[in-house]
Amino acid sequence: MSAGWFRRRFLPGGPLPEPQPAGPRSSPVPYHRPRFLRGSGSSPGATDASRRPDSRPVRSPARGRTLPWNAGYAEIINAEKSEFNEDQAACGKLCIRRCEFGIEEDQEWLTVCPEEFLTGHYWALFDGHGGPAAAVLAANTLHSCLRRQLEAVVEGMLASQPPMHLSGRCVCSSDPQFVEEKGIRAEDLVIGALESAFQECDDVIGRELEASGQVGGCTALVAVSLQGKLYVANAGDSRAILVRRDEIRVLSSEFTPETERQRIQQLAFIYPELLAGEFTRLEFPRRLKGDDVGQKVLFRDHHMNGWSYKQVEKSDLKYPLIHGQGRQARLLGTLAVSRGLGDHQLRVLDTNIQLKPFLLSTPQVTVLDVDQLALQEEDVVVMATDGLWDVLSNEQVAQLVRSFLTGNREDPHRFSELAKMLIHSTQGEDGAAGEGQVSYDDVSVFVIPLHKQGQGSCGH
């Protein structure tokens, strides 16, 4: 992506991305639930179609189907907010082969051994909006993008420290010293590969949706185990936490119009034409009214963490770029998240104002050094879409996890049962959430046990 691309794509004067090319449209992305749910039953209902607000089915993999690391998974569809469950999930083994050199370049000195590979594991949750298509595409695609990106750098990952040159040919004898001084480690290549994979997947989704004439976007939360470390990459408002006997460690941050206010306001400052004169980039405690004109009211702009007062002008009465608090906060009155995949065609209702320039597909990546943790039997990572976290706090989830696992040490399916129990807890059952704390959203949960699996099995 170049700045020129950004200007051509989003700013007036550039060629319009629409209308669609004249070529034949590809068929729409078919809706489906995660592959690992095939053959599964559900409780208490049976199919998506049978749901009533009080009897929506909780689905989880069939008893015979084991997910990587014996992870548990469960999901529930929303209370008729949308026709489909817009959450999606994926998991599996990642087999990373060494890149084959010597094709484009003359590098006959490199012994290519296609059998050599690195294995890891992958769990991902996608929370769709504006239709299920983007989340389905992301669940079908992101792991392949990640595999490709990792294969492109795996040579560097296998060295004790990534070499300056991927091919190993030192141009300058002090190259290792420069890499050392910058503090570049193998894990930085995995972080870079995750960042690139999210971008690549976003491009794929953009092309596929445009070709099939569909729309939509999704958040993405991914956990990857590789070489004794767990990488958590997040773009959106899902969340992953590590729950241990005496510790809760948050492994992701949420990206919403509120948490990314300054970045979003700054873009509108740099490119005011993105707001087409319809929105104000300034933040006020509430939307201003005609009576406020001439008065001094609280506000903040892109460069401010604190607040100040400004005299209200007529242009301040426009709809705010970011409006509302907490779960109600919306970007351009439209979107509740500020990072994710897709949304290439999304516009503010009845206008030509695009959302995409304000969205990032880049995830934030957290690294958990699993090999350095003195792991215990009940140490798990809980990954879930916002439907869970809207009604349960980290502390409530940790309490549910600890008491469930302590009481179910012998059950080989305990992580799956725990995932189901967490979903039930969002429905006002099991007494965890307070009265009236019921999630009407789609909710999806992975419970990933770290004990034993964390060490060795994800190694080289």
Shortest Å, Cβ 266 to a copy of itself: 9
Nearer to a copy of itself, 167 or 376 (CB): 167
Shortest Å, Cβ 333 to a copy of itself: 17
Q: Interface residues for a copy of itself in 8-67 (CB under 8 A)? A: none
Q: Which two tokens stand for residue 134?
A: 């983007």
Q: For the window 232-271, what string marks contact with a copy of itself as x by the rule CB under 8 A?
A: -------------------------------------xxx
Residue 116, CA distances (Å) to 42, 96, 338 in order = 41, 9, 39
Q: How far apart are CA 457 and CA 226, in angstroms?
A: 9
190, 224 in Cβ contact below 8 A? yes
Angle between helix 394-407 and 414-425 (nearest 10): 140
What value, to the nearest 5°, has the Cα angle with vertex 417 and ends 412 and 422? 145
Nearer to a copy of itself, 122 or 415 (CB): 122
DSSP-assigned beta bridge partners for residue 443: 76
Please select the residue that binds a copy of itself; options are 22, 49, 103, 171, rule is CB under 8 A.
171
What value, to the nearest 5°, has the Cα angle with vertex 190 and ends 195 and 103? 95
What value, to the nearest 5°, has the Cα angle with vertex 334 and ends 33 and 266? 115
Nearer to a copy of itself, 243 or 275 (CB): 275
Q: Interface residues for a copy of itself in 310-329 (CB under 8 A)? A: 325-326
Q: Which two tokens stand for residue 22?
A: 């004249």
Q: How far apart are CA 209 and CA 111, in angstroms?
A: 41
Shortest Å, Cβ 319 to a copy of itself: 16
Query: Which of the ranges 59-67, 76-84, 138-146, 303-311 carries the binding residues for a copy of itself, by CB under 8 A?
Result: 303-311
Shortest Å, Cβ 214 to a copy of itself: 26
Please select the residue that binds a copy of itself; options are 79, 110, 159, 179, rule is CB under 8 A.
179
DSSP-assigned beta bridge partners for residue 231: 224, 367
φ, ψ of residue 109 in degrees (nearest 5): -70, -15
Angle between helix 186-212 and 133-158 (nearest 10): 150
Report which DSSP code applies to 14: S
What value, to the nearest 5°, has the Cα angle with vertex 348 and ends 342 and 350? 130
> Residue count at the site for a copy of itself (CB under 8 A)?
63
Nearer to a copy of itself, 52 or 289 (CB): 289
Report which DSSP code applies to 413: T
Please select the residue that binds a copy of itself; options are 76, 138, 164, 400, rule is CB under 8 A.
164
Please select the residue that binds a copy of itself; options are 334, 362, 394, 408, rule is CB under 8 A.
362
Nearer to a copy of itself, 179 or 375 (CB): 179
DSSP-assigned beta bridge partners for residue 440: none
Regarding 169 and contact with a copy of itself (CB under 8 A), the answer is yes
Q: How far apart are CA 396 and CA 406, in angstroms?
A: 16
Regarding 307 and contact with a copy of itself (CB under 8 A), the answer is yes
Q: Interface residues for a copy of itself in 126-155 (CB under 8 A)? A: 149, 152-153
Residue 261, CA distances (Å) to 235, 267, 268 in order = 15, 10, 11
Q: Which of 217, 452, 237, 157 is nearest to 341 (CA)?
A: 217
Q: Interface residues for a copy of itself in 199-218 (CB under 8 A)? A: 199
Note the maximum CA span of the chain. 77
Query: Which of the ranges 118-126, 337-345, 358-366, 397-405 carries the binding residues for a copy of itself, by CB under 8 A?
Result: 358-366
Please select the residue that binds a copy of itself; options are 296, 327, 452, 460, rule is CB under 8 A.
296
User: How many other C-beta atoms lie within 10 A of the C-beta of residue 373?
Assistant: 18
Query: Which of the ranges 30-38, 40-48, 157-165, 405-413 carries the binding residues for a copy of itself, by CB under 8 A?
Result: 157-165
Please select the residue that binds a copy of itself; options are 135, 190, 201, 282, rule is CB under 8 A.
190
Shortest Å, Cβ 137 to a copy of itself: 21
138, 126 in Cβ contact below 8 A? yes
Q: How far apart are CA 307 and CA 136, in angstroms?
A: 42
Please select the residue that binds a copy of itself; options are 31, 79, 159, 175, rule is CB under 8 A.
175
Q: For the window 398-437, what string marks contact with a copy of itself as x by the rule CB under 8 A?
A: ----------------------------------------
Nearer to a copy of itself, 166 or 375 (CB): 166
Binding site for a copy of itself (CB under 8 A): 2-4, 6, 105, 149, 152-153, 156, 162, 164-167, 169, 171-172, 174-175, 178-179, 181-182, 184, 187-196, 199, 269-272, 285-286, 289, 291-292, 294-298, 300, 303-309, 325-326, 360, 362, 364-365
